[in-house]
């Protein structure tokens, strides 16, 4: 079986290998060769995660032998206020793959809803034992404390939805409390997601293209990535 890969070049100085057909499966490399080399391990970890969460209903449980096939590569770039490519712009345009054009199927939506629920449970499970002091503790060299990371996850998910004009509310109307923000944005996401089934919904924002498939890919990645981030911060204590 072939696992189709899209490479995102120059994401914060690294390369991301995305499994185009498996949202939430990704890995980082210092360059594209390392990203592709590390990807099989990332897929096996993803497979174990889905198998554990879904049990007999897992859609990856029967994948044993697989090959990694590079389908697409996207070089991130920066633009200025006039959307011209520049070296030091005001906005970084992140990966858009041809695969992102594909309309979602009912099965895509069903799996995405499950993945979103599982990653959210994992996130809440990490922070459940933490008291206010731990969540508000500042870490040297870090942009946010854990409370700030939670708020950022909710804000970023709102931003992904807003890129498709699907956010439902303004940024100013988002709850300031991180947990309330996470909950409100996610519940809205889960409401609109089924409405995207079969729709060719593509929008441009800040010089970057967005679609339902890309929003799902980025939202699940972003939450899982910050779960690892929080674990690393807690390991420093």
81 and 159 belong to one structural domain: no
**pLDDT of 236:** 80
Backbone angle region of 24, left / alpha / beta, with phi > 0 → left and psi within -120 to 50 → alpha: left
- Domain ranges, residue 133: 99-237
Residues 104 and 183 in one domain: yes
Q: Which of 75, 95, 115 is the last residue of a domain?
A: 95
Same structural domain, 164 and 138: yes
Clarify whether residues 47 and 164 are in a common domain: no
Question: What CATH number is given to the structural domain containing 108?
Answer: 1.20.120.450
Same domain? 1 vs 106? no
The Cα 135–Cα 29 span in angstroms is 30
Rounded to whole angstroms, the Cα distance separating 64 from 49 reads: 15
Measured CA to CA, the distance from residue 47 to residue 66 in angstroms comes to 12
pLDDT in tens, the chain (237 residues): 899 999 999 999 999 999 999 999 999 999 999 999 999 999 999 999 999 999 999 999 999 999 999 999 999 999 999 999 999 999 999 999 999 999 999 999 999 999 999 999 999 999 999 999 999 999 999 999 999 999 999 999 999 999 999 999 999 999 999 999 999 999 999 999 999 999 999 999 999 999 999 999 999 999 999 999 999 999 986
From 95, 127, 156, give the residue that closes a domain. 95
Query: Does 110 lie in the same domain as 82?
Result: no
Q: Which residues contact 154 (CB under 8 A, 6 or more apart)?
A: 174, 178, 181, 182, 184, 185, 186
59 with 85, same domain?
yes
Task: Give the count of alpha carbons within 13 A of 234, CB side only.
Answer: 18
Residue-level pLDDT at 21: 97
Residues 183, 144 within the same domain? yes
**CATH assignment at residue 76:** 3.30.160
Q: Do 31 and 61 fall within a single domain? A: yes
First to last CA, the chain: 43
Strands across the sheet containing 14-19? 26-29, 14-19, 2-11, 67-75
Boundary-marking domain end, from 59, 77, 95: 95
**Same structural domain, 117 and 104:** yes
Query: Residue 237: its pLDDT value, please?
Result: 66
Overall domain count for the chain? 2
One domain, residues 103 and 191: yes
| CA 218 from centroid of its chain's CA atoms | 3
Same domain? For 117 and 87 the reply is: no
């Amino acid at each position: 079986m072939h696992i189709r890969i899209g490479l995102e070049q120059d994401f914060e100085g690294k390369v991301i290998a995305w499994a185009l057909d498996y949202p939430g499966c990704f890995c980082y490399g210092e360059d594209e060769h390392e990203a592709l080399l590390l990807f099989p391990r990332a897929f096996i970890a993803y497979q174990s995660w889905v198998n554990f969460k879904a049990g007999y209903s897992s859609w990856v449980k029967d994948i044993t032998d697989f090959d990694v096939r590079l389908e697409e590569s996207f070089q991130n770039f920066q633009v200025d206020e006039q959307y011209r490519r520049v070296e030091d712009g005001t906005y970084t345009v992140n990966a858009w793959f041809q695969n992102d054009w594909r309309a979602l199927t009912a099965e895509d939506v069903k799996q995405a809803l499950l993945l979103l629920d599982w990653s959210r449970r994992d996130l809440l499970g990490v922070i459940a034992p933490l008291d206010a002091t731990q969540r508000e503790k500042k870490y040297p060299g870090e942009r946010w404390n854990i409370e700030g990371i939670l708020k950022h996850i909710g804000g970023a998910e709102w931003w992904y939805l807003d890129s498709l004009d699907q956010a439902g509310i303004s940024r100013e109307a988002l709850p300031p409390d991180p947990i309330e923000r996470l909950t409100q944005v996610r519940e809205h996401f889960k409401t609109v997601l089924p409405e995207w089934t079969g729709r060719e919904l593509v929008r441009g924002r800040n010089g970057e293209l967005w679609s339902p498939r890309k929003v799902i890919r980025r939202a699940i990645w972003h939450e899982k990535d910050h779960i690892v981030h929080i674990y690393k911060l807690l390991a420093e204590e």
